[in-house]
């Protein structure tokens, strides 16, 4: 459902939400080691997220990434949209452009139920909220 890149991105953002801090940003190397994501690829993803204002970057010695107050407020779906787009939530489960509620494909309704359940969750939950859930329960982010 989510691409590998998007899974990496979500874990990265949530990790920063839990661990990072304006006063002590996390470096790419640190993130990639902890989450077991390839280092160079982690860098690329961090760059992309920073450019789209999902995370905040600090250059130079002691630099790295953290989530600003604003960053923490963004719903999970924003991360997904930036990396994968929203086509999963909007298009037919059988790949039919003609599929619609008037002229549905054979799995239209069941696919819709599944995808809208997820969409609702991703829209309604902010990075901060999900990060808090991770801390409260002991959810895992590690492979």
Partner DNA sequence: AGAATAAAAGACCTTTATATCTTTTATTTA
Partner DNA sequence: TAAATAAAAGATATAAAGGTCTTTTATTCT
Question: Which range, of 3-11, 13-21, 109-117, 119-127, touches DNA by CB under 7 A?
Answer: 3-11
- Among residues 65, 61, 64, 89, the alpha carbon closest in space to that of 77 is found at 89
The correct pick among 14, 16, 49, 55 for binding its own copies (CB under 8 A) is 14
The correct pick among 59, 61, 103, 136 for binding its own copies (CB under 8 A) is 103
The correct pick among 1, 4, 110, 114 for binding DNA (CB under 7 A) is 4
The interface mask with DNA, positions 60-79, x = CB under 7 A, is: xxxxxx--------------
The correct pick among 22, 24, 33, 51 for binding DNA (CB under 7 A) is 51
Torsion-angle region of 53 (φ positive above 0: left; ψ -120 to 50: alpha; else: beta): left
Among DNA, its own copies, none, residue 61 binds (CB under 5-8 Å by kind): DNA
Measured between alpha carbons, how far is 96 from 54 in angstroms, rounded to an integer? Answer: 32
Measured between alpha carbons, how far is 74 from 70 in angstroms, rounded to an integer? Answer: 7
- Among residues 21, 50, 28, 46, the alpha carbon closest in space to that of 131 is found at 21
The correct pick among 27, 43, 75, 104 for binding its own copies (CB under 8 A) is 104
Measured between alpha carbons, how far is 20 from 91 in angstroms, rounded to an integer? Answer: 36
* Residues 112 to 141 in contact with its own copies, rule: CB under 8 A: 113-115, 117-118, 121, 130, 133-134, 137-141
Sign of dihedral through CA atoms 110, 115, 118, 119? negative
Among its own copies, DNA, none, residue 130 binds (CB under 5-8 Å by kind): its own copies
């Amino acid at each position: 459902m989510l691409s590998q890149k998007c899974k990496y991105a979500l874990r990265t953002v949530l990790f920063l939400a839990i661990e990072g801090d304006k006063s002590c940003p996390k470096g790419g190397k640190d993130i990639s080691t902890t989450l077991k994501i390839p280092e160079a690829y982690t860098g690329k993803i961090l760059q992309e997220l920073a450019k789209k204002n999902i995370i905040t970057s600090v250059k130079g010695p002691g630099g790295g990434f953290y989530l600003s107050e604003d960053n923490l407020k963004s719903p999970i779906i924003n991360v997904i949209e930036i990396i994968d787009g929203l086509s999963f939530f909007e298009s037919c489960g059988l790949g039919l452009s003609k599929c619609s509620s008037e002229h549905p494909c054979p799995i239209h309704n069941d696919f819709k139920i599944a995808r809208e359940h997820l969409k609702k969750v991703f829209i309604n939950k902010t990075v901060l909220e999900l990060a808090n859930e991770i801390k409260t329960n002991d959810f895992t982010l590690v492979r």
